[in-house]
């Protein structure tokens, strides 16, 4: 979203900001100055911005650890308040069996970082996102090894979960810097970083094909994310889906991919496409906002997904043919599950849990 204006008596709309992200709470201080909240160029935040509506020049006013989720001002513009969000997050694991994972069966993973997001299983290690320099990087937890930071956020913010190659020796991850997001590939030991999407402004999380030859990723095309697959050893990207497509997941057989469509109010539809770009049938699956992450379970025939309302979701597994569902977690309200992964043997679940709290704070206006 961005901010636009139009004359009260009609006419042609005029675009004022160019964030191409979530812009909210436009608040006038005077006839010329408009405050609003929006993410920074690196995807962090949201932060408070000020727009000179005459010059159409915008400036970010604050940075830091705690983002601003809303802003308001008095009618005369002399008093300003904002909502400052504090988020806590960590990684948990639990067994997959006939009983849902509740608090007594969920085990918190000890991390060298204050927070942990977007965990992914490797053959003998776990990758996850965490912030150590104000922006998210990639960390590795290996069995019997010292935790390692593979990518520091100072070199560009990692904006979505990494995707580990089938052989476990490489991983792909999206990095945002300078207002553009590119896809990088790195060895699992932290060496050999290279960018493989120079011509694509990517969106969401990547997915590695089971044969290891392709990476699927969404990228901006004609103002919305379309789905591409990139050859890992170089070459032109191949368009799979023209139209809104995000967060692909490759089926274990490699025959098709599942991806999420555009939001309609608070829901979206899961769709599928064959690996060659041809249509692929999929039973109707409608999920709620905040549940774009899905994962295959035990082959092509079942999906693990997040189900619930906007503030509370649990993990379920659904048989795509019969429609039968089984609950995997029963953790209750209080924390929000955001991302997850399933161990290669299908016996263990790893997931992040976060809790957001907010304070209303006054903002001092410079004289």
Contacts for 358 with CB less than 8 Å, ≥ 6 apart: 69, 83, 84, 85, 86
Candidate ranges 18-27, 128-137, 341-350; pick with highest mean pLDDT? 341-350
Residue 201 has pLDDT above 90, yes or no: yes
The C-alpha atoms of residue 219 and residue 181 are separated, in whole angstroms, by 9
Tokens for 131? 């912030």
| SS3 of residue 153 by DSSP | helix
The whole model's pTM is what? 0.81
pLDDT, residue 363, reads: 82
In the chain, where the domains are located: 4-78, 89-355
pLDDT tens-digit profile of 294-329? 999 999 999 999 999 888 899 999 999 999 999 999
> What separation, in Å, do the N-terminal and C-terminal C-alpha atoms of the chain show?
31
Residue 85 has pLDDT above 90, yes or no: no
Residue 43 has pLDDT above 80, yes or no: no
Residue 94 has pLDDT above 80, yes or no: yes
Contact between residue 153 and residue 135 where contact means Cβ atoms under 8 Å apart: yes
Contact between residue 182 and residue 195 where contact means Cβ atoms under 8 Å apart: yes
Question: CA angle 272-301-96, nearest 5°?
Answer: 120
- How high is the mean pLDDT of the chain? 91
pLDDT, residue 21, reads: 79
Contact between residue 258 and residue 246 where contact means Cβ atoms under 8 Å apart: no
Tokens for 95? 């067994």
Tokens for 106? 């969920």
For the domain 89-355, what is the CATH superfamily, name and number?
TolB, C-terminal domain (2.120.10.30)
pLDDT tens-digit profile of 2-28? 899 999 999 999 999 988 778 999 999
pLDDT, residue 214, reads: 97
Percentage of residues in the chain having pLDDT higher than 70: 98
pLDDT, residue 197, reads: 80
| SS3 of residue 155 by DSSP | helix
Residue 86 has pLDDT above 90, yes or no: no
């Amino acid at each position: 979203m961005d901010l636009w204006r139009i004359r009260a008596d009609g006419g042609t709309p005029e675009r004022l900001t160019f964030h191409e992200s979530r812009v909210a709470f436009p608040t006038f201080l005077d006839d010329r100055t408009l405050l609003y909240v929006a993410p920074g160029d690196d995807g962090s935040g949201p932060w408070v911005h000020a727009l000179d509506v005459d010059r159409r020049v915008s400036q970010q006013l604050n940075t830091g650890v705690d983002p601003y989720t809303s802003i308001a001002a008095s009618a005369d513009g002399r008093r300003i308040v904002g909502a400052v969000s504090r988020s806590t997050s960590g990684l948990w694991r639990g067994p997959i069996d006939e009983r849902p994972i509740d608090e007594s069966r969920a085990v918190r993973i000890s991390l060298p970082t204050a927070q942990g997001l977007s965990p992914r299983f490797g053959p003998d290690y776990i990758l996850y996102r965490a912030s150590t320099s104000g922006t998210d990087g990639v960390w590795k937890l290996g069995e019997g090894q010292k935790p390692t930071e593979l990518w520091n956020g100072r070199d560009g913010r990692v904006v979505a979960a990494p995707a580990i190659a089938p052989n476990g020796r490489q991983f792909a991850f999206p990095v945002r810097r300078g207002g553009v997001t590119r896809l990088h590939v790195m060895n699992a030991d932290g060496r050999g970083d290279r960018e493989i999407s120079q011509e694509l402004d990517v969106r969401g999380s990547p997915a590695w094909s089971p044969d290891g030859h392709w990476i699927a990723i969404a990228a901006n095309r004609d103002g919305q994310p379309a789905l591409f697959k990139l050859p890992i050893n170089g070459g032109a990207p191949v368009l799979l889906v023209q139209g809104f497509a995000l967060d692909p997941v490759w089926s274990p057989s490699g025959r098709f991919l599942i991806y999420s469509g555009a939001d309609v109010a608070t829901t979206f539809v899961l769709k599928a496409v064959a690996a060659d770009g041809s249509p692929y049938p999929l039973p109707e699956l409608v999920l709620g906002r905040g549940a774009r992450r899905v994962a295959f379970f035990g082959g092509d025939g079942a999906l693990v997904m997040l189900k619930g309302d906007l503030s509370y979701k649990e993990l379920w597994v659904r048989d795509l043919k019969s429609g039968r569902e089984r609950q995997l977690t029963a953790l209750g309200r209080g924390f929000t599950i955001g991302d997850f992964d399933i161990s290669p043997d299908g016996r263990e679940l790893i997931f992040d849990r976060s809790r957001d709290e907010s304070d209303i704070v006054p903002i001092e206006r410079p004289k």
